A and B are shown apart, each in its own frame.
Chain A
Amino acid sequence: MTITSLRRAVLPGVATLALALSGCAASNETDTATGGGSDTEAAELSGQYTIGGASSQEAAQLAWTTGFTEVAPDVTMTYEPVGSGGGRESFISGAYIVAGSDAYLTDDEGELSDATERCSGEAPIEVPNYVSPIAIIFNVDGVDELNLTPDTLGAIFAGEITEWDDAAIAEENPDADLPSAPINAVHRSDESGTTENFTNYLDVAASDSWTGGVVETWPNEFGGEGAQGTSGVVSAVTDGQNAIGYADASQAGDLGTANIQVGEEFVAPTPEAAANILAVSPLAESAEENQLIYDLDYLTEEADAYPIVLTSYMIACPTYEDAAEAEVAKAYLDYVLSPEGQEQGANEAGAAPLESGLQEDALAIVDTITAGS
């Protein structure tokens, strides 16, 4: 009795084990190259590469890593949304050949020097891969269009203006039927580059009303509802009442987006307007020849530029010791910055494409990536 009952218990276990181990790849994954008409150099590449960085780039990078398989069918690229800091850390340690970041490298914490060291003493390549407008989304009964000056915007998020029918808002929206209801200002509860860029804008453009400085984590003292991730903010604004929040414009969906005052005009967060802000902004002082990094001009008076944007960068080395790494990094950046890549990002992730002149400058820099030491 003892042996049979033991066997009864063991046999199904072994069967399950065997079943689990014999598991084959998913139906949509193939080991062999799917071929395709691509006859570029990139088609010759192969291997598995993991890159990563800013989680704000997750959707766009997903679109690109997916689209990249058409250019280089044998390369499996995976983007890990580990955060900008984590991405830079792993780039410096050599774990990533390329990293995505929503801020350029600085030497505040020695990251630029470390990255230079990782790239055998040469300044790392930093190019923007897309500009995404941070939309001020709102969900207020009876209000379809909303105009805001930077100061009003700062005051709303600083908790100074608490009612929708406040004089400051009414003044800018004479035609709107503003309800007499409390404002529910929604912010990101997690640490994020979106918050950093948004507060950076407020710090410069709304210095009278915004006193929170430039932060990655929303300061508690200003109150408001905290929501996790861009999707959290969007759904909190959608589900909430009389809510306003800031989120990547590509995810705003059907929500209303506020027009922000630039110069004399109120500008909507369109991809074109967002791309224009780079055109009117100066390069950062620390920028080397192979770095297209910008200090955004938030006070611009150019009426066709939308100032609240998140500029995403990709970081790579000018030379890689490993020839394969160099070619994959080059091919991937080439793809991302190519017209097809930019279109893929726009269609599949709503990432605003770079303006064509900037795109070419970036491609020229990527072209300099070489192998060998």
Chain B
Amino acid sequence: MSTTETERTPPREPEAPRGVSRRGDTIFAGLAKGSGLFIMLALAGVALFLVLQSLPAIGASGENAYGADNIVLYIWPLLFGTVLAAIIALVIATPLAIGVALVISVYAPRRIARLLGYLIDLLAAVPSVVYGLWGRETLQSWVFPIYQWLADNLGWIPLFAGPVTTGRTILTAGIVLAVMALPIITALCREVFAQTPTMHKEAALALGATRWEMIKMAVFPYSRSGVTSAILLGLGRALGETMAVALVLSASGVITINLISSQNPSTIAASIALNYANASGIKTNVLIAGGLVLFVVTFAVNFLGRWLAARGQAKG
């Protein structure tokens, strides 16, 4: 169910008759406007309550800040892990998503394309906790031998230094996140590709271009900002995902770029989900402060993504 913003506002705007049943109109218009304002208020409320509940965490240290000396030292490694896992997810998901979007919008015959679109949307319909369960129970044992192979053969790359003793690494978490970000990026890329002017595509083909040359010359130039925004929105999703990471990852809270060792960074969201049940007093505030940081980061990423999308559309 992809949505597009292609509809332009109609050239003429019909004016409602004036003077008839003004009161009903006023009330209804007020309700509609009130709902809109309420949504803005809710968004502001999210920020406000998070800030309010984070304030007591500023002075937390030691046991109250989960062993860190202060709140910044507590959140920083988690933020690192959050970004690392999301970047892994995007490195895996972006090429796949662009490929799948090309298949659906260019390569596949129409009927199959529609079916494929549904199938990819189904990926998005699977709840994240189920992906987490699958990653924890199944995927980690599948990737384990692959990690061993990586460590044995590519161990000189810092990313794959190992030693491999578990399948529950940040790379596995990244793979699961990639699966979850894939349908979002794919759907947005499909829309972008579909907006390429048909004339350009047909012109390219008429000049004897192969399909790939047509994509290169006609589709890609039009989609650059759209694809970037799709990636950013996928990033937003990967950054904030909780349960899959919480279930899959064996987190130590260290900062490392070694993707397949047993010592893995944790993520903000997973750390909140795992520690919340046992938290009391100031610790709750520390966790909420982590949530506030996550909120700010994802808000910024989504903001940028939407802004790029809007700008791309204004130009396109």
Is A in direct contact with B (CB under 8 Å) within the complex? Answer: yes
Chain B 275-292 near chain A by CB (<8 Å), digits 1 or 0: 101111101000000000
Contact B253 A191 (CB under 8 A): no
Q: Decide if B167 is an interface residue (CB 8 Å cutoff).
A: yes
CB of A328, distance to nearest CB on chain B (Å): 24
- Dominant SS at the B interface? loop
Contact A236 B278 (CB under 8 A): no
CB of A248, distance to nearest CB on chain B (Å): 15
Chain B 32-72 near chain A by CB (<8 Å), digits 1 or 0: 00000000000000000000000000000001001100000
Q: Kindly state the separation between the CA atoms of A243 and B66 in the bound complex, as whole angstroms.
A: 25
Q: Decide if A241 is an interface residue (CB 8 Å cutoff).
A: yes
Contacts A184-B166, A191-B66: A226 and B250 contacting too (C-beta < 8 A)? yes
| Chain A contact residue count (CB 8 A cutoff) | 36
Report the nearest A residue to B253, measured CB to CB: A220
Find chain A residues with CB under 8 A from B278 CB: 55, 81-86, 190-192
- Residue in B140, B163, B164, B283 whose CB lies within 8 Å of A85: B283
Q: Which of A69-77, A211-219, A352-360 contacts B (4 or more CB under 8 A)?
A: A211-219
Among A85, A217, A218, A232, max chain B CB count under 10 A is at A217
CB of A184, distance to nearest CB on chain B (Å): 4
Contact B277 A83 (CB under 8 A): yes
Report the nearest B residue to A219, measured CB to CB: B67
Find chain B residues with CB under 8 A from A152 CB: none
Chain A 192-219 near chain B by CB (<8 Å), digits 1 or 0: 1000000000000000000000011111
Q: Decide if A35 is an interface residue (CB 8 Å cutoff).
A: no
Find chain B residues with CB under 8 A from A226 CB: 250-253, 263-264, 266
| Chain B contact residue count (CB 8 A cutoff) | 30
Q: Kindly state the separation between the CA atoms of A189 and B246 in the bound complex, as whole angstroms.
A: 11
Among A184, A191, A225, A241, max chain B CB count under 10 A is at A225
Q: Decide if A227 is an interface residue (CB 8 Å cutoff).
A: yes
Contact A240 B275 (CB under 8 A): no
Contact A82 B253 (CB under 8 A): no
Q: Decide if B229 is an interface residue (CB 8 Å cutoff).
A: no
Q: Decide if B130 is an interface residue (CB 8 Å cutoff).
A: no
CB of A197, distance to nearest CB on chain B (Å): 15
Q: Decide if B165 is an interface residue (CB 8 Å cutoff).
A: yes
Q: Kindly state the separation between the CA atoms of A192 and B275 in the bound complex, as whole angstroms.
A: 10
Contact B77 A220 (CB under 8 A): yes
Q: Decide if A182 is an interface residue (CB 8 Å cutoff).
A: yes
Contact A191 B280 (CB under 8 A): no
Contact A184 B63 (CB under 8 A): no
Chain B 245-267 near chain A by CB (<8 Å), digits 1 or 0: 01000111110000000111010
Q: Decide if B274 is an interface residue (CB 8 Å cutoff).
A: yes
Q: List 21 A-B contacts (CB under 8 A).
A: A55-B278, A83-B277, A83-B278, A85-B281, A86-B280, A182-B165, A184-B262, A190-B275, A191-B66, A191-B279, A191-B283, A220-B77, A220-B253, A223-B252, A223-B254, A225-B262, A226-B263, A227-B168, A228-B246, A240-B262, A241-B164
Binding site for A on B (CB under 8 A): 63, 66-67, 77, 140-141, 163-168, 246, 250-254, 262-264, 266, 274-275, 277-281, 283
Given A88-B280, A227-B250, A228-B246, 19 more pairs with CB closer than 8 A? A55-B278, A82-B278, A85-B278, A89-B280, A89-B281, A187-B252, A191-B279, A192-B278, A217-B63, A219-B67, A220-B77, A220-B252, A225-B250, A225-B252, A225-B263, A225-B264, A226-B264, A228-B274, A239-B140
